[in-house]
Amino acid sequence: MTSEAFAPAKINLALHVTGQRGDGYHLLDSIVMFADVGDRLWFSSAKDMAISVTGPFADGVPVDRRNLVWQASELAGFCGTIRLEKNLPHGAGIGGGSSDAAAVLRHCGYAGDGAALGADVPVCKAAKAQRMQGIGEVLTPLSGWPALHAVLVNPGVEIATPDVFKALIQKDNPEISADPMDFSTAEEVVAFLQDQRNDLEAPAQSVAPVITSVLTALKALPQCRLARMSGSGATCFALMDTAQDAASAAQTIAAAQPEWWVRPCVLS
């Protein structure tokens, strides 16, 4: 019997780097939401483990133990065939492999947080709006938060997260400046987010200057309420008031930059 799971894109609406641990990992204070666009996985039990990858971003995805899906299966005690439909660009700052691994853990009813697989796996396992602290393992659900309309844009450059952290100069920035639990309307959330940052945006722009062009294009949209990079890039997002605004903004960007990956979505 085959069953299915969804691995949503993870979006960091704010990402403050507040320090660095002795082992090199960075301390973060981040607001994370999840898109209604993502990868899909189909599971069927079998004697041997096997992964096949399809979809627009299948190229270059390993089908052996290097794939986090394989490692998550071992951790959760699943053995069988997994078909992974890669709809999300990789090395893109939107979760990718972490969200796929988290989908396996959720699907198998795994009780732990999966942090051993990667710093972003616990938040991806929660798959709902969260404040994320520590190196990614300290989570506070933002259960009163409204859904937000957005456009996601990736210019087609893969970025290695460690390269961006290496390019980061200031490693002890202030934490998030207000209690994000206090907000319940989209207007309040957007106003709060405008006062926050992604501390990896400047170092990522030095690694991949095209990110500056993406942010400029998003900020120029009349529907844009806030434009920022997610994670270590290169995907950026713009927040919009309505689904209609997101759809027409996505059309504008896609027409001007046919090579870019552009998706209107809802974040929750």
Among candidate residues 29, 39, 113, 120, the one labeled active-site is 120
Q: Is 120 a catalytic residue?
A: yes
- Tell me the closest approach of the beta carbon of residue 243 to ligand C5P, in angstroms: 32
Would you say 38 is a known binding-site residue? no
Beta strand pairing status for 80-85 and 50-54?
A: parallel
Q: Is 10 a catalytic residue?
A: yes
- Tell me the closest approach of the beta carbon of residue 161 to ligand C5P, in angstroms: 4
d(CA 123, CA 13) in angstroms, rounded, equals 13
- Tell me the closest approach of the beta carbon of residue 76 to ligand C5P, in angstroms: 18
Would you say 96 is a known binding-site residue? yes
Q: In the complex with ligand C5P, which residue's Cβ is closer, 62 or 144?
A: 62
User: Footprint of ligand C5P on this chain (CB under 6 A)?
Assistant: 25-26, 28, 118-120, 135-136, 161-162, 165
Would you say 233 is a known binding-site residue? no
CA angle 265, 243, 150 (to 5 degrees): 40
Q: In the complex with ligand C5P, which residue's Cβ is closer, 165 or 183?
A: 165
234 upstream amide cis, omega within 30 of 0: yes
- Neighbouring residues of 43: CB distance < 8 A, sequence distance ≥ 6: 2, 3, 4, 5, 78, 80, 81, 82, 107
Would you say 77 is a known binding-site residue? no
Task: Name the packing angle between helices 210-219 and 243-256 (round to 10°).
Answer: 130
Which pair of structure tokens corresponds to residue 2? 């085959």
Q: In the complex with ligand C5P, which residue's Cβ is closer, 72 or 148?
A: 72
Instruction: Just list the catalytic residues.
Output: 10, 120
Residues belonging to the binding site for ATP are: 89-99
Residues belonging to the binding site are: 89-99
